[in-house]
């Protein structure tokens, strides 16, 4: 835990810092001992890949809920060391993202900007200042591309802070690729899982494992052992056509057997912009998508609670929706959400999930 301290903001307001782990934490599959901000307990769910094991500790989709009457909110946090990616902002990779409820809606309030360089690895930033009197319900998203080792929230010295009750009606697990993980949203609150949560009042838990979600048996077991109201799978962006043919039937059988009465919604992979002029890549993508459509149609017929949602419109057709020819930018995530959310909600409604 970071040492308790009283600081002074630029406006001369003294602040005190509170350990965020004492507040409400959401966006996880379970509580992980000694790792309050981890998504998955890697000591319980074993993976063959060191990268996947590391991703379990990442804060993608994890958020801290609290209520405070402070007029100013700051944060101090320490990220685990990790190299930065070229296709994402420092804020989404290593920063924080605050939303405050206003008139029943979660509204963006400010970001915690990570330091460019820090001798001890600790970042410190003011997130929002000079707010009106009164209690505020707050949701602070963690960085999506690193683990958080320590986090404290700063409030005015004379203000109070308390855990906020979990505000969502249902828990939806979303397993997927780097697109689910959040590349390349500009800040943590703009990933499609976070947006769907705020738009619906249902918690879409982010289990994105960038580049590594390939229908492995370990992921099937993780989903089989994780209780939720429904499950969504961005399962076809990472595996090759051969891996899909080899692994899909077993993967679906494992999760469908474990949760026979729960909806399991598989969505088609995106069409990458790199296939626009690269004919070899276009042929590879076409074969993979056609294979997915054929095999998932078979699986949806075999299991009554397995659904396949197909579309080629998820990012539009103007080729302006990615940061790097593959990963959605904020425009892309807006289109992605507009495409899939109505279809997902239509399925969930059949099960009384709304």
Q: What is the mean pLDDT of residues 31-45?
A: 95
Q: What angle do CA 292, 293, 297 make, to 5 degrees?
A: 110
Q: Give the span between the Cα atoms of 178 and 244, in whole angstroms.
A: 17
Query: Hey, what long-range contacts does 281-284 have (CB within 8 A, 24 or more apart)?
Result: 284/241
pLDDT at 11 over 80: no
* Mean pLDDT computed over every residue of the chain: 94
Over the stretch 103-145, which tens digit does the pLDDT of each residue have? 999 999 999 999 876 556 789 999 999 999 999 999 999 999 9
State the pairing for strand pair 230-234/264-267: parallel
3-state secondary structure (DSSP) of residue 316: coil
Q: How many CA atoms lie within 13 A of 351 on its CB side?
A: 21
Q: Is the pLDDT confidence value at 5 over 60?
A: no
Q: What's the pLDDT at 7?
A: 60
Q: How far apart are CA 217 and CA 227, in angstroms?
A: 17
* CATH for the stretch 171-349: 3.40.50.1110
Q: Percent of the chain having pLDDT more than 90?
A: 89
Nearest-angstrom CA–CA distance, 172 and 166: 14
Q: Is there a shared CATH topology between the 6-163 domain and the 171-349 domain?
A: no
What pLDDT score does 3 carry?
41
Place of tokens 């949760």: 259
Task: Give me the residue spans of the domains in the chain.
Answer: 6-163, 171-349
Instruction: Report the pLDDT value the prediction gives residue 54, as an integer from 0 to 100.
Output: 96
Q: Residue 1: what pLDDT?
A: 41
Residue 330 has pLDDT above 90, yes or no: yes
May I ask the CATH class of domain 6-163? mainly beta
- Residue 351: pLDDT above 50? yes
Question: Which two structure tokens, joined as six digits, stand for 301?
Answer: 């017929």
């Amino acid at each position: 835990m970071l040492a308790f301290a009283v600081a002074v903001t630029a406006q001369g307001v003294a602040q005190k810092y509170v350990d965020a782990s004492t507040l409400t934490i959401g966006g996880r599959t379970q509580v992980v001992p000694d790792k309050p901000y981890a998504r998955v307990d890697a000591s319980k769910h074993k993976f063959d890949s060191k990268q996947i094991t590391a991703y379990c500790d990442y804060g993608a989709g994890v958020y801290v809920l609290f209520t405070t009457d402070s007029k100013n909110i700051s944060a101090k946090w320490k990220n685990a060391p990790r190299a930065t990616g070229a296709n994402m902002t420092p804020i989404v990779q290593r920063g924080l993202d605050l939303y405050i409820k206003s008139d029943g809606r979660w509204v963006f309030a400010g970001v915690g900007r990570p330091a460019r360089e820090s001798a001890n690895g600790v970042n410190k930033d003011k997130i929002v200042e000079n707010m009106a009197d009164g209690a505020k319900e707050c949701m602070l998203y963690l960085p999506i591309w690193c683990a958080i080792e320590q986090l404290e929230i700063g409030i005015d010295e004379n203000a109070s802070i308390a855990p906020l009750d979990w505000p969502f009606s249902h828990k939806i697990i979303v397993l997927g690729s780097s697109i689910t993980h959040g590349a390349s949203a500009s800040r943590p609150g703009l990933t499609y899982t976070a947006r769907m949560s705020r738009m619906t009042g249902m918690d879409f838990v982010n289990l994105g494992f960038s580049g590594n979600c390939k229908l492995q048996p370990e992921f099937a077991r993780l989903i089989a052992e994780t209780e939720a109201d429904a499950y969504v799978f961005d399962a076809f962006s990472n595996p090759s056509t051969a891996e899909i043919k080899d692994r899909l039937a077993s993967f679906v059988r494992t999760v469908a057997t474990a949760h026979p009465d729960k909806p399991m919604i598989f969505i088609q992979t995106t069409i990458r912009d790199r296939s626009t002029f690269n004919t070899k890549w276009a042929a590879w993508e076409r074969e993979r998508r056609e294979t997915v459509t054929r095999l998932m149609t078979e699986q949806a017929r075999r299991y009554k609670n397995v659904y396949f949602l197909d579309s080629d419109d998820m990012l539009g057709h103007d080729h302006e929706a990615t940061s790097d020819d593959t990963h959605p930018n904020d425009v892309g995530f807006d289109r992605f959400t507009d495409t899939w959310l109505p279809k997902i909600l239509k399925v969930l409604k059949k099960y009384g999930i709304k």
